A and B are shown apart, each in its own frame.
Chain A
Amino acid sequence: MLTVCRRILLAAFCLLLLSVCPAPPALAQESPYFVAYDHYLEEPGNLEIEYFSTFGTQRGGNDFHAFWAEFEYGATAWWTTELYLDGQTTFDDSTIFTGLRWENRFRVLKREHFINPVFYVEYENKSGADKILKEGEGHDVESDFLVSNAETGREHIHEIELKLILSSTFKGWNFTENTLAAKNLSNSPWEFGYALGASRPLALKASPKRCTLCPQNFVAGAEMYGGLGDRHSFGLHDTSHYLAPVLAWNLPSGWTLRISPGFGLNNNSHRFLMRWGVSREINGFGSMVSRLFGGRK
């Protein structure tokens, strides 16, 4: 009962924050990806508050529901900073808070090119019970999740994660490729991973009328991600890989809904991952905070 309450509390806190915030919402033109990143950063001064869930099946163990909140802030037009708070429920086990992440993305080039690089650096302070599967890395496999929360919750992980995001937009399509290198700071080898994504709005021209269900508000695509081993054994053996269709619905009210059923591609992967999320972009959050403390309008 207590575990369910914790989960409900986190979701309720995020939704409350999203709905009562007095700043004007912006129509988010969000990408539909859950794991892959494209080269578009948060608009300067805007804050995006997001809540995501992943339900995963587990062979030989208990299914799980991992969830996380994201606070994504556009510090400048070339720098976005983001804080994550993660948790998970393993059915017939427990619900626990699994840690936090601080992520930064930097746009490298001033102008738009055919391929646009973005540099990503993240610090993770999490427990071994983390199950959000926000990336595939190293030799992570399904059987890692068989250990109980009581045991994995005691393991503390401090990790630095670097990504090179290469993204292109061509005739309405976005194609992105992310290469990942992660280092557990407790003397573990560098681990590697990848994510690929492609997506496109259902319509390229905007409607001359305000509408919620117009095709241009929907962005559909697919992403694929997985591990590439580590420094000592680079490659695809003993790694997990997923393919997931993705869909985002950008509502005119500033909300974005995302959904993605994911499918494991080999025996090391979870058979099925169901992801969904809700987010809201708040315009001018930086100015609002500044005004609260006496800044100018």
Chain B
Amino acid sequence: MKAISAALGVCASLLAVSVLLAQSRNSNKPSVDAAPKYDPAIIYAELQKAPEKARNRANPLQNDPDAVAAGAILFEQHCAECHGNSAEGSRKAPSLRVPEVQSAPSGALFWLLTNGVVRKGMPVWSKLPEPQRWQLVRYVKSLGVPTPAAESPTAKP
């Protein structure tokens, strides 16, 4: 009984700590809805850190007709939670439909996906096998940058 009480105590403490952490993180920032937790420029700058050899890697699935469809499913399963359902970005992670990403070489995107940006919150995704990471890169590159006309309805509150 003593051990069960201790276990419940630890659970309650962990919950309290996580709530307090979440609250303090929120209270340190201006209360603007959907204000991102990150500086997009810093995240996009990570793409520039890809080594030359990695940047020059060609996507081996560039001509695979199934790659975009498979990548879309993978994106929904692993990436949409943070980057948004259409990769438009969210409070947790930046948009992938911006020129910085869309004009980046496939090799650089693959490198970033493999290595993550661990200190800025993006985990490493090397646990997805290489072909799946290339499928994701194909999908992300297929999204393109939204045109201003298509962007305006969602841009308005």
Q: Which residues of A contact B (CB under 8 A)?
A: 24, 26-27, 29, 31, 38, 40-41, 43-45, 71, 73-74, 76-78, 81, 83, 85, 97, 99-100, 102, 107, 110-112, 125, 127, 169, 171-172, 174, 201, 204-210, 216, 252, 283-284, 286-287, 289-290, 292-297
Query: A97-B3, A169-B126, A205-B70 in contact; A289/B18 too (CB < 8 A)?
Result: yes
Q: Are A83 and B10 in contact (CB under 8 A)?
A: yes
The total of chain B residues at the interface (CB under 8 A) is 47
Q: Cα distance A111–B54 when bound, in Å?
A: 14
Offer 8 A-B interface pairs, CB within 8 angstroms, sorted by A. A40-B127, A83-B14, A169-B126, A204-B131, A284-B81, A290-B19, A290-B23, A297-B91
Q: Are A295 and B22 in contact (CB under 8 A)?
A: yes
Q: Are A205 and B69 in contact (CB under 8 A)?
A: no
Q: Cα distance A207–B72 when bound, in Å?
A: 11
Residue in B closest to A252 when the chains form the complex, CB atoms: B77
Tell me, yes or no, whether B34 is within 8 Å of chain A by CB: yes
Q: Which residues of B contact A (CB under 8 A)?
A: 3-4, 6-7, 10-11, 14-15, 18-19, 22-23, 26, 31, 33-35, 66, 69-71, 73-74, 77-78, 81, 91-92, 114-124, 126-132, 135
Residues of chain A within 8 A (CB-CB) of B77 are 26-27, 252
With both chains docked as a complex, state the minimum distance between the C-beta of A217 and any C-beta of chain B, in angstroms. Answer: 11
Residues of chain A within 8 A (CB-CB) of B31 are 296
Q: In the complex, which of the residues A112, A125, A171, A204 contacts B124, with contact meaning CB atoms closer than 8 Å?
A: A112
By Cβ-Cβ distance, the 4 closest A-B pairs, closest first, are A290-B22, A208-B69, A27-B77, A204-B129
Q: Cα distance A250–B33 when bound, in Å?
A: 35
Residues of chain B within 8 A (CB-CB) of A111 are 115-116, 118, 124
Q: Are B19 and A289 in contact (CB under 8 A)?
A: yes
With both chains docked as a complex, state the minimum distance between the C-beta of B139 and any C-beta of chain A, in angstroms. Answer: 10
Q: Are A77 and B130 in contact (CB under 8 A)?
A: no
Q: In the complex, which of the residues A44, A83, A171, A296 contacts B130, with contact meaning CB atoms closer than 8 Å?
A: A171
Q: Are A289 and B15 in contact (CB under 8 A)?
A: yes
Q: Are B73 and A210 in contact (CB under 8 A)?
A: yes
Q: Cα distance A293–B31 when bound, in Å?
A: 15
Q: Are B127 and A77 in contact (CB under 8 A)?
A: no
Besides A99-B3, A296-B91, 17 other A-B contacts (C-beta < 8 A): A24-B81, A27-B77, A43-B81, A71-B11, A73-B14, A77-B118, A97-B7, A110-B115, A111-B115, A172-B130, A206-B70, A206-B135, A287-B22, A290-B23, A295-B22, A295-B26, A297-B91
Residues of chain B within 8 A (CB-CB) of A97 are 3-4, 7
Residues of chain B within 8 A (CB-CB) of A100 are 3, 6-7, 10
Residues of chain B within 8 A (CB-CB) of A295 are 22-23, 26
Residues of chain A within 8 A (CB-CB) of B73 are 206-210
Q: Are A112 and B123 in contact (CB under 8 A)?
A: no
Q: Are A112 and B126 in contact (CB under 8 A)?
A: yes
Residues of chain A within 8 A (CB-CB) of B74 are 206
Q: Cα distance A212–B19 when bound, in Å?
A: 35
Residues of chain A within 8 A (CB-CB) of B114 are 112
Q: Are A77 and B119 in contact (CB under 8 A)?
A: yes
Query: A208-B70, A286-B22 in contact; A43/B6 too (CB < 8 A)?
Result: no
Q: In the complex, which of the residues A73, A77, A293 contacts B116, with contact meaning CB atoms closer than 8 Å?
A: A77
Residue in B closest to A29 when the chains form the complex, CB atoms: B127
Q: Are B7 and A201 in contact (CB under 8 A)?
A: no
Residues of chain B within 8 A (CB-CB) of A210 are 73
Q: In the complex, which of the residues B6, B14, B123, B135 contacts A44, with contact meaning CB atoms closer than 8 Å?
A: B123
Q: Are A107 and B78 in contact (CB under 8 A)?
A: no
